[in-house]
Structures are given as C-alpha cells and as structure tokens.
C-alpha cells in the first residue's frame, strides 16, 4: 500500500512555509494539506485529512499542523507510519494564551488583521531572522492572505485543542520532534515533553531558530526530515 507524505502548515500557513522542503522532499511527492483552512476544530481537521488522503500516511506538521498530526494519530493509529512534529505542543491551551487569542479574535473579526500581526510578527522568529526583510515579508504576506475570518476560526480551533499528552505514549511509529532553541511561541520544553512521551521519538533542537523552523533553518529541517523518512517503511514515490 502506498504511503503518502503530507505536510500540514501552521496557523494561517500555506505552501509558502514549505517552499524549501518541497524541492528537497520531491522524491516522496509530498502533499501540502489545506484541512486547516476548511474546518473549525483540530479533531475535525484530522478527521477530514483521514477522509481526503487514503491509505497509510507520514505526517509532518508545523505548529498547529503538528496538533492536527497528533490528533490524526489518535484517530487512526494503524494508518500513521511516521510523525514529524515541528515547533508544536501537545498541551492544551493555557489561560494566559486563551485570553490573548480571544482579544486577537475580536480584532480579526473586525478586519483589523495587520494591526495585530505586523507588530507581533518578530515573535515568530529568532532575533537575527526577524531582521531579514525578505523572510518577514514572506511570512506577513501568507498570514495576511489567510484573512480575518480564517484567523479567527483557526485561533478558536487552537484554543479548543485536545490534550495530546493523553495518547502520545500509545504512538508506535517513529516520531521526529524538532524545535527552534529560541522559539518564543512553543518553547523547547514543549518539544522535550513530546519526545519524552512518544516511545520512538528523536528530538532535535535547532540553534539560531525561532518558531518558523521551515523558513529559518531550511537546511537543518530538510536534513532531519530526510533522515526521518529514510527510517520509515516506505520508499520515494518515483522508486
């Protein structure tokens, strides 16, 4: 049976955030999922992914995409051949973050997207990368392109996310856990926790890197993903 490699973007993300991975992983014919754009909860996104992509799956999720990947592994453990979890957390929403998101959602629904996003975009990056105008522009463009309605819906989904820690010990496939050493949105401790819970986890902490691993340290991310894929019971599609 064919195993499909699916890339799951983070909140407001699209294929832009995987631009440096798509070429590196081309032999596996990766598919960028859009389930986060059409459903209003993490469990619904995972269920939609499982409906839309048949057969066995290797799931690579960044941030919110990692939450979807972990939920898909809970819903269909027998179909998941590997998980790569980048800059994500298994924990439910904290009360402090819930309050911040609720305030942001009000502004998103009023169409005041740039007012929220532009002053806070640097929190997603290592300070050195936050000074890169091309990188910041690419990030801002895809977040603003998502629009206020999407941003409000996705933030609500993240606020209501399940506690994935309850089932990570049951995951039997190889799990690659990667995070930026300077991630201010999902700190390293969140990735350490995932790696401690999943029985077959490999943790990699990337230096000079914030939350946007795929854009900040594409070479290190690609090397990690290629090694993870090589250890899975699947071969490149063109083989």
What pLDDT, in 10s, does the model give residues 11-68? 999 999 999 999 999 999 999 999 998 999 999 999 999 999 999 999 999 999 999 9
CATH, domain 1-239, list 3.30.390.30, 2.60.40.10, 3.60.9.10, 3.40.50.1820: 3.40.50.1820
CA torsion 137-180-196-83 (nearest 10°) is: 40
How far CA 122 is from CA of 130, 154, 174, 234, in Å, comes to 5, 20, 32, 38
CA distance 112 to 136: 19
Instruction: Give the model's pLDDT for residue 239.
Output: 39
Q: pLDDT for 116-135, tens place per residue?
A: 999 999 999 999 999 999 99
Q: Residue 153: helix, strand or coil by DSSP?
A: helix
CA distance 154 to 2: 31
What burial letters (b/e) apply to 126-151, b meaning 16+ CB within 10 Å?
A: beebbeeeeebebbeeebeebebebb
pTM, 2 dp: 0.95
8 Å CB contact between 36 and 9: yes
Q: pLDDT for 168-185, tens place per residue?
A: 999 999 999 999 999 999
């Amino acid at each position: 049976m064919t195993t499909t490699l699916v890339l799951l973007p983070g909140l407001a993300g699209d294929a832009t955030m995987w631009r440096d991975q798509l070429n590196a992983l081309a032999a596996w014919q990766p598919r960028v999922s859009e389930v986060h754009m059409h459903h209003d909860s993490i469990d619904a996104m995972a269920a939609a992914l499982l409906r839309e992509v048949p057969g066995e799956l290797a799931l690579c999720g960044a941030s919110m995409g990692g939450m979807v990947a972990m939920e898909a592994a809970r819903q269909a453990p027998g179909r998941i051949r590997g998980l790569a979890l980048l800059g994500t957390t298994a924990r439910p929403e904290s009360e402090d973050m819930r309050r911040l998101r609720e305030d942001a959602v009000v502004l998103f629904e009023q169409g005041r997207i740039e007012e929220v996003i532009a002053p806070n975009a640097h929190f997603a990056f290592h300070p050195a990368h936050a000074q890169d105008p091309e990188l910041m522009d690419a990030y801002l463009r895809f977040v603003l392109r998502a629009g206020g309605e999407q941003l409000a819906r996705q933030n609500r989904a993240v606020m209501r996310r399940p506690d994935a820690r309850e089932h990570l010990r049951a995951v039997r496939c190889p799990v690659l856990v990667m995070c930026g050493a300077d991630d201010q949105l999902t700190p390293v401790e969140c990735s350490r926790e995932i790696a401690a819970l999943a029985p077959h986890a490999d943790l990699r902490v990337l230096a000079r890197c914030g939350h946007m691993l795929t854009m900040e340290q594409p070479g290190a991310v690609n090397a990690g993903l290629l090694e993870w894929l090589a250890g899975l019971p699947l071969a490149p599609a063109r083989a």
